[in-house]
């Protein structure tokens, strides 16, 4: 597979899912986002990031995490996804 205007492996599609733990202890995806990005030249830039956002539905204490998948365009890759550390906020997701 060849990327128009670039070489294979020159860009990646980054997909992120924002997850909240429900009352049964199961993780539920409540928002997602994706972006095609190029490698940065030695510095991180907000233009090279994918993000997912969710507005709080209550002030209920909720555990949150992100699930991240990076697919190098034009290259075979494995199905693994990165999982961020769990953080707790007074921000209910409605799950």
Q: From the centroid of its chain, how far is CA 40? A: 18
What is the tens place of the pLDDT at every residue in 47-87?
678 899 999 999 999 999 999 999 998 888 889 999 999 99
> Is residue 1 situated within a structural domain?
no
* 2 within some domain: no
The pLDDT of residue 71 is 92
Provide the mean pLDDT of the chain.
87
Confidence of residue 7 (pLDDT cuts 50, 70, 90): low
Q: Determine, yes or no, domain membership for 3.
A: no
How many domains are contained in the chain? 1
Q: Please determine, for residue 44, whether its predicted confidence score (pLDDT) is greater than 70.
A: no
d(CA 77, CA 60): 38
Question: Does a structural domain hold residue 6?
Answer: no
Give the model's pLDDT for residue 49: 81
Q: Is the pLDDT score of 2 beyond 50?
A: no
In this structure, is the dihedral angle defined by the CA atoms of residues 69, 75, 79 and 83, taken in order, positive or negative? negative
1 band by pLDDT with thresholds 50, 70 and 90: very low
Is the CB of residue 65 less than 8 Å from the CB of residue 19?
yes
pLDDT of residue 6: 54
Choose among 54, 75, 73: nearest CA to 65. 54
| Residue-number span of the structural domain to which 49 is assigned | 12-92
Query: The whole model's pTM is what?
Result: 0.81
Q: Report if residue 60 sits inside a domain.
A: yes
């Amino acid at each position: 597979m060849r990327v128009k205007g670039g070489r294979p492996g020159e860009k990646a599609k980054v997909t992120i899912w924002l997850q909240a733990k429900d009352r049964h202890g199961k993780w539920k995806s409540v928002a997602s986002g994706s972006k095609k990005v190029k490698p940065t030249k030695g510095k991180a830039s907000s233009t090279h990031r994918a993000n997912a956002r969710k507005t709080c539905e209550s002030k209920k204490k909720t555990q949150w995490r992100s699930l991240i998948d990076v697919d190098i365009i034009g290259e075979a890759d494995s199905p693994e996804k990165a999982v961020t550390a769990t953080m707790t906020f007074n921000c209910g997701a409605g799950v």
